[in-house]
Each structure stands twice: as structure tokens, then as C-alpha cells.
Amino acid sequence: MLSAESAAVVRATLPAVGGAINDITPIFYRKMFTAHPELLRDLFNRGNQANGAQGRALAGSIATFAVALLEHPDTRPEQLLERIAHKHASLGITAEQYGIVHRHLFAAIAEVLGDAVTPEVAAAWDEVYWLMAGALIALEARLYAESGVADGDVWRPWRVVGRVEETPDVATFMLRPADRGPTPPFRPGQYVSVQVELPDGARQIRQYSLSCAPGGSDHWISVKRVAGDPEGEVSNWLHANVREGDILRVSAPFGDVALDEGDCPLLLASAGIGATPIISMMAHLAATATTRPVTVVHGDRSPLTHPFRGELELLSEKIPQAVTHVWYEEPGEGWPAERTGLVDLGGVEILDGTRAYLCGPVPFMRSVRTRLLDLGVPADRIHYEIFSPDEGL
């Protein structure tokens, strides 16, 4: 809980800090990476740094946490904290690194706001920062303990035991522990981090949803080659270089968006490569002979770009109460007109008590979430996984 004195100062200065946060974050990162270049080289996503996505996500998380402290002083934004903690744990973040962030973030705040940062203002925002950092450190310690690893020690060598080309731009890598240790459990919807050494010596890390059912000896990740300018550094490297027999450095599984084990109806909605956590959920539901009503919605460019198209059909047949709806923007001949174009939930029955899981581009998830809210699905029953820094829906 934020002290009364600090709450008054934060409330008064929040507009100024919030208005300047997009000026503060690039200065913060510049200062931190100048002092610790290894963090940009081996920890932070260089692509997200280049396009500003990481800075916007950081700004959003700080602002959200500060507002939550003011509006709900007796609680804390658990969903926000859980999401960040899982992401941090998958990277092996440790408590000591919060001190590094604090030092350079507050130096950037002072540089941007100048004389407005009085000792009282600095102390109040310092309290906000350490309340958030302390909560994250505790959550991450819990996640490490649940995974059976020391704080930050999440990495193991995994051997590629198979590779499947799902589409021209999506490949599935089947992984097995190379150290012959046990395969860690995971929940459908969770992800792992993969760290690769690129030609310039950087050890870049990316997260990939697990695309298999839990309980086996292997973990599968399905990676879409990211085109554009810049291209996805890690995804393109994996596609070009990794074959059966190669070794990858992979983290323990983490992720706050995981399939619940209840009996309520499910809506599993995805678009593009967002199908990866959804196909894991489907595989689990089929393997456990679920009797839950399951509505599956997927949108893609065309049948050729649809990953797991065949698997989706087979798994849907194994789930007695599964109904599948697929939209293609470029379907080819014979595809029904009502399923051509973008996903439209207008003709999809959403059962009472539905719990929804969404994954795909942010505009797709925002559209689906808005429709569900309009239909009366409570916000706390709509879960989403996002494959970029989380700037919110």
C-alpha cells in the first residue's frame, strides 16, 4: 500500500510524469544500455527496442500500476503483475537487476522533468517503483521455486529431435532435454524462451508458445519466420540454421495464460500464428477426453498459410462437443462466403458461462474481446496471449 503522503504527491504529479513517460523511456534505455551493453546484446529484444514497443509497454505498466495504487489502495493489479513476472522468469531476471533499472530510470526522470523532481516527488515515485519491483521479485521467486530452479537459473540444453514444416513460413521444432533430465511439466497455453547466438555474437532471446499437449517427453515450439524491415532476428535464424540433432538453449515453461481445468464452455479464438497456444489447448482437451463444449474460431490469410490446419480438423473430431469456424481472407474456390474475410463472431453461438482464450494480432483480439463484452461475457473470463510487448487491448 502506498503511504498517504506519497499517494498525495503521486496523484498530483501523475499527469506530468504520465505525459512525459514516452520521453523518459528512451532516455532510460539509452542510459542503461550505455552502462550495461550486455543487457541489450543478451537480454532485451533488439527489434522491440528499435521500434519502440518495449518502451511503450514499460510506460504503460508503470502508469497502470501507479493508477491502481491510487484508485484501489487496498489491492494491487494482480493480472498485470502476474503477466510481467512470468515474462521476467522466462528470461531469468533476478532481484539484483531491479536496482540497475531503478538507477537509470530515475536518472532519466530527473533529466526530463528537471526541477519539478523535488526530493518529495522523487521519494514518492521511488516508493511506487519499489512497491512494484518488490511485488515482482516475490512473484518471480515463487515461479522459480515452482519450477524447481534457483532464481534466474531457468536455462537447459535441449536437442532438436524433429522438424516439421507446417506452412512455408512456420516450422515446428520438437525438443527433448539434451542433459537427459526430466521434461518439466507445463499447462496448455504456456511458453518457453529460446536463446540463440547470432552472427554478431549477441545472444538474443524470444518466447514461443508450446504447441503440443502436456505430459510427453518432448516440448514442441512452432516458429513463424518474421518478415519485414527489420526481419525477425531469431525466427529467421532458427528457420535457416536449426535442424534435427542441433542443440538449443531453452528455458523452463512459464506463462500466465493457461487453460483452466473446469467444465465450463470454452471459446478458443486465434488468428495466424496465434494458433500455437490454441492447438496445445485442443491437443490437451482431446487427450483428456473432455466433454466440455468447445467453440474454436480461427482466421488466416489462406489455407496455405494456416498452421495446424489438418491437426485442427482431427482434434475437433476427437472432442464430442467441438464446433470449429474458420475464416480465410483469400480462400480459393468453393469456400463459403460467410467465412470469407475477417473473423466475424456475429454468427457464432457463445454459450452462457463461456471462458474465452484469445491469441493473434492485437486488432483481431481487440475486436473479438469487444464483441464478447458486448455479449455479456465478463472481462475476467476473457484471457489473451500477446506475442509482442503487452501494450494492452
Residues with active-site annotation: 98, 140
Q: Report how far residue 274's alpha carbon sits from residue 348's, in angstroms, rounded to the nearest whole number.
A: 19
3-state class of 170 per DSSP? strand
Cell, residue 102: 531503478
3-state class of 342 per DSSP? coil
Residue 325 DSSP label: E
Burial class (CB in 10 A: 0-12, 13-18, 19+), 380: exposed
Q: For residue 362, what are the CA distances in angstroms to 95, 285, 367?
A: 31, 26, 8
Residue 114 DSSP label: G
Amino acid letter at 152?
G
Q: For residue 219, what are the CA distances in angstroms to 149, 285, 302?
A: 18, 17, 27
Q: For residue 179, what are the CA distances in angstroms to 155, 185, 249?
A: 11, 16, 11
Burial letters 72-90, b for 16+ CB under 10 A, else e = eeeeebeebbbbbbbbbbb
**DSSP string covering 260-297:** --S-S-EEEEEEGGGHHHHHHHHHHHHHTT--S-EEEE
177 preceded by cis ω (within 30°)?
A: no
Half-sphere exposure of 340 (CA within 13 A, CB side): 8
Cell, residue 382: 476473457
Cell, residue 241: 540454421
Q: Any idea what the Cα angle at residue 118 is, between residues 112 and 123, rounded to 5°?
A: 100
Burial letters 173-183, b for 16+ CB under 10 A, else e = bbbebbeeeeb
Torsion sign across C-alpha atoms 360, 202, 238, 84: negative
